[in-house]
Structure 1
Amino acid sequence: MTDLQMSLIAAGGVFIVGVFTYNKWQEYKAKKSVERVFASEHEDVLMRAGSGSDTVHPGGARHEPSFSLDGDSTPDHAAPAGAYGDGDEPETPVVRTADASTPPEELATALVDPLIDCLLPLALEAPARGDKLLPALQKLRLVGNKPVHYIGLAVSGEWEPVKHGGVYTKLQGGVQLASRTTALNELEYSELVQRLRAMADEIGAEPEIPDMMEVMQEAKNLHRFVAGHDAQLGVNLQSNGAPWAINTLIAALEKQGFDVRPDGRYVMPDGEGGHLFSLSTNVTLAEETTSRLTLLLDVPCVAPARDGFGSMIACAKSMAGRLDASIVDDFSQPLADQALAEIAGQVQEFYADMDRNDIPAGSTRALRLFS
């Protein structure tokens, strides 16, 4: 082997080592960047530092579990300006809006809500029957994961959901500005406008398109509010002895009043088609036993009058007696009555804050935003 060949091999080796080292350095920087982001902004919304000695946290410090009102203390989570104060895949999520006795105008507001929807006025060239309008409207029901709804001004002078047999002189569309996961973005809005224009041409209507920049700002503000109030509270039941057999456990859950939903979740019904809280066995379907159950309350989705937290704790205590279990937090520390009472008080503060922002917990508006 010549000196030239040896030199080329050596140079190639140095190049490969250099590339490998550079890639590793880039991976390290990316990893540290991600760690910094998540370490600085994403605390556990259920177990924030308080005072006391029940929950073990990293570093050896011990704190009582505390319900967190993300967003109450910082301007970033304030309600959208002008929207929450002065009075003024996929399928669309199913939200209980009203029963048959609900006035048409109330039904209309539940579908197209000025507080949480971007309004899309549609001026009809002439009065149109719902039978003609509905097939076209069905073509634009979802943008991304944001539902699009429509109401019509009936010849009676009342706004109502567009229906067969109705005759309408005007239409009002509405696309939800934010969901639990994301805000309406520029790409979705551009798609909406394009599809809205095509649909309007089909029914003989002229759409009024809001300014994109204003809509994007409203969507971001609303999503900050949703993110700041997206709170779930959980308590755990830990077996004091041997793990529970799943088959035996199912019977106990049914006696306690739980229903099994099609998706396999166990839920406590609220008596009106919804549920107060859910339960997880924390194991896969293939497992035959579990030693831990988790009860979870989706706080903004349950009205204060239903006392979801109180009902969940009462259920946990009843099941603890039935199953010989202890009520513990996520770190397996016992949850004392005093800690639970403090959390219950913070839940009431959370409800009051949602009321102040005209999005009461458990309302149609809240259910749409937090579905």
Structure 2
Amino acid sequence: MSDLQILLISIGVALIVVVLLYNAWQDWRARRSMRQSLPDTGHDVLMRDAAPRREPVWQAGRPAADESAEADPACEAVIDIALAHPVAGESLAEALRSITRVGKKPVRVFAEREGGGHRAEALPGESYVSLQLAVVLANRSGPLTAIEWSNLWTLAQNLAERFEGLIEAPDQDAVLRQAAELDARCAAMDAQVGLILQLAQPRPVAAILQAAAEAGFVQARGQWAWMAENGLPRFALQIDAAEGGSAHRVDLVLDVPNSLPDDQAFSRMVAVGRDLATRLDAHVLDDQGRTFQDGSAPAIDRQISALYDQLDQAGFLAGTDRAARVFS
């Protein structure tokens, strides 16, 4: 080994020693500074008694919990709008107020809050970063049409322009194809069964409704209905006359997809119909206008029960919000 190599090695070792000594000195200075800045308590500051635990409490003015309602891909098509900047709930609510339907299809709007969570409506005091416009794919008016989908697109574009948003939506052909398939499936499971109470002579509507109330009907969801124990309608009462006029006929209608599943759904309506017919001096007819024979009720019960099963298996359990969206 040459003298030059020995010299270079010596210099390298010396430099390493200097760096190590400098780091040790810096560490000693830092520890001394920390000891001087901490109070002399006689014991380790990390082992002090912890402060009492404070349970979280609800404070007025805080946002309510996120809503559980959300778009339903089984029966709705969705257009997403990502907003470039958070938008105040007050501004968003005003813009969304008129968006309720396109053509004959209802539209639901969902807003994602800044920081997470979503609402079925924009609320004051919150900010939102994205929107969803959800339109039902099919209902009793038929499948979603190209015009209805185009109208929803227009609404989405207006919102995107107003709030600097970016739109993301499924292909129109795929949406319309899904709508047609859903319409065909649900049409095969849709049924409304009725009874007619033919009055011996016309009666004022007010008198008919009073008799219905005495028989157990209540006014709910914009109609007179016979309610189940859980508050869902079993069947409805319909009168084809103005409120202040008179009527000679009363209809009882069991809307199968929108009623509570029941093995004796029709027999129950027959029993109530007989009672109301007695109160109104009316004759009970089937929905074809023929004298109703009580002996046919069990067979109709079985048919309706089978339909309830089909609806459940298809994912549209009767009496649920999903069934109501499609069978309306």
TM-score, length-scaled by structure 1 = 0.61
Pick from 175, 197, 200: which aligns with 2:157?
197
* Partner of residue 223, structure 1: 183
**2:162 aligns to what SS in structure 1?**
helix
Residue 121 in structure 1 maps to residue 80 in structure 2: yes
Does the CA contact (< 8 Å) of 2:193 and 2:287 recur in 1? Answer: no
Q: Structure 2 CA distance, aligned partners of 1:349 and 1:205? A: 47
Could you tell me the percent identity over the aligned residues?
30
**1:307 shift after superposition:** 6.4
- Number of the residue aligned with 2:324: 367
Query: Partners of 2:244 and 2:81 in 1: how far apart?
Result: 53
Distance 1:261-1:169 versus aligned 2 partners, 3 A rule: closer
**More strand as a share of residues:** 2
Cα root mean square deviation, aligned? 3.2
Tell me by how many angstroms 1:252 deviates: 2.3
CA distance in 2, matches of 1:233, 1:179: 18
Query: Contact conserved, 2:267 with 2:298, CA < 8 A, in 1?
Result: no
Letter in 1 for 2:112: L
Q: What amino acid does structure 1 have at the position aligned with 2:296?
A: A
Is 2:220 the partner of 1:258? Answer: no
Whole-Å separation in 2 of the counterparts to 1:272 and 1:166: 35
> Which residue identity does 1:217 align to in structure 2?
R
Q: Establish whether residue 243 from structure 1 lines up as the match of residue 201 from structure 2.
A: yes
Higher mean C-alpha deviation, range 266-275 or range 216-225: 266-275
| Aligned residue pair count | 263
- Give the stretch that moved more between structures: 206-215 or 333-342: 333-342
Contact 2:234 2:259 in 1 (8 A): yes
Matched, 1:167 2:127: yes
- Is residue 198–residue 284 contact of structure 2 (8 Å, CA) maintained in 1? yes
1:155 Cα offset (Å): 3.8
Larger radius of gyration: 2
| 1:285-324 superposed matches below 5 A | 288=246, 290=248, 292-304=249-261, 308-323=265-280
Tell me by how many angstroms 1:365 deviates. 0.9
What secondary structure does 2:77 align onto?
Answer: strand
Equivalent of 2:68, from 95, 100, 106?
A: 106
The amino acid that maps onto 1:127 is: P
Unaligned runs of 5+ in 2: 1-63
Give 1:277's aligned residue. Answer: 235
Residues 313 and 321 (structure 1), Cα distance of their counterparts in 2 relative to 1, 3 Å cut: same
Gap runs ≥5 in structure 1? 1-101
Superimposed CA distance per residue, residues 85-114 of structure 1 (whole angstroms, 9 cap, x where no aligned partner): xxxxxxxxxxxxxxxxx973522x2xx211
C-alpha spacing 1:252/1:140, structure 2 compared with 1 (3 Å):
closer
* Greater RCO, 1 or 2 (C-alpha within 8 Å, sep 6+): 1
The alignment partner of 1:121 has SS state of strand
- Distance across 2 between alignment mates of 1:126 and 1:334: 66
Which secondary structure state, in structure 1, belongs to the residue aligned with residue 299 of structure 2?
helix
What is residue 67 of structure 1 aligned with on the other side? none
Task: Judge conservation of contact 1:154–1:168 (CA < 8 Å) in 2.
Answer: yes
Q: Could you tell me how far apart the structure 2 residues matched to 1:212 and 1:168 are?
A: 27
Counterpart-to-counterpart distance in 2, 1:249 and 1:215: 46
Who is 2:284 aligned against?
327
CA apart distance, 1:270:
5.1
3-state DSSP of counterpart to 1:153: strand
Q: Does the 8 Å contact 1:300/1:366 carry over to 2?
A: yes
The alpha-carbon distance between structure 1 residues 141 and 236, as it changes in their structure 2 partners (threshold 3 A), is closer
Shift of 1:216: 0.7
Say which SS state the counterpart of residue 138 (structure 2) adopts.
Answer: coil
Q: Cα deviation per residue 1:279-303 (whole Å; 9 max; x = unaligned)? A: 345567787562x432111111112
Which stretch shifts more, 189-198 or 211-220?
189-198
